[in-house]
Amino acid sequence: MPDQSGEPIIRVQNLVNRFGNETVHDGLDLEVFRGEVLGVVGASGSGKSVLLRTIIGLNRPVAGHVEVFGRDILAISDTDQREIEKNWGVLFQDGALFSSLTVAENIEVPLKEYYDMPLRLMDEIAAFKIGIVGLPEGTGEKYPSQLSGGMRKRSGLARALALDPEIVFLDEPTAGLDPIAAGDFDILIRDLRGSLGLTVFMVTHDLDTLISICDRVAVLVDKKLRVGTLEQLMHDEHPWIQSYFHGPRGRAALLSEGEHLQK
């Protein structure tokens, strides 16, 4: 478990997000600590992806404060925002790759946006990132349409890692993957967290992911977050949390993990 005695790398305070007459977040608070893997779960429409988009500056809330690296991203200049963005990477659902670009060219997009470097160096960086996410040699020359769903996810992750970020934001990284591919992706995230010292903020619905790699879990219920370890949340009496963790899927995931640990 990462040390929670220091200052959080992400701090959200009294966040309010409202769309028309619908309030999605109402006084939401969250702290994410350096080096941890935090899983964010909640019912469909509860605002998980909205929270992620708010933290990275793609959605402006009605009220509240969002600090990343100790800076209030809602109050800084565009120049300062760009500097902070260099230190995080984002994997959107299904990879969100540009269909007209090869995998290597997709990975090079943030390099071109933030730095002026020779093409040869960008090609070398792209090849390295392709390797560390476990994609086979030659993947860089392919287009997204030529890839499987799992390969697109890994390619999107390679792009998210292009600038050597401290934080990686993942939006439903295992959605649409078969159980084996999803398990392999979880192992990849766990290994990269260890080798690169990443902090991981992950929106997910996958109980297996929560059990296998998350240090803490944040559950969006009643427009706020309940945060704790998996063990702590298993004892939370909120009806949705009880249904989520103690329903058939939750019991199956916990049983599977228990059998795995016994081997």
pLDDT tens sequence across 74-111: 999 999 999 999 999 999 876 689 999 999 999 999 99
| Structural domains for the chain | 1-87+166-263 (3.40.50.300), 91-164 (no CATH)
Distance (Å, whole) CA 198 – CA 168: 7
pLDDT tens sequence across 195-245: 999 999 999 989 999 999 999 999 999 999 999 999 999 899 999 999 998
Structure tokens at 43: 């019912």
pLDDT tens sequence across 104-147: 999 999 999 999 999 999 999 999 999 999 999 999 999 999 99
Amino acid in the structure at residue 226: R
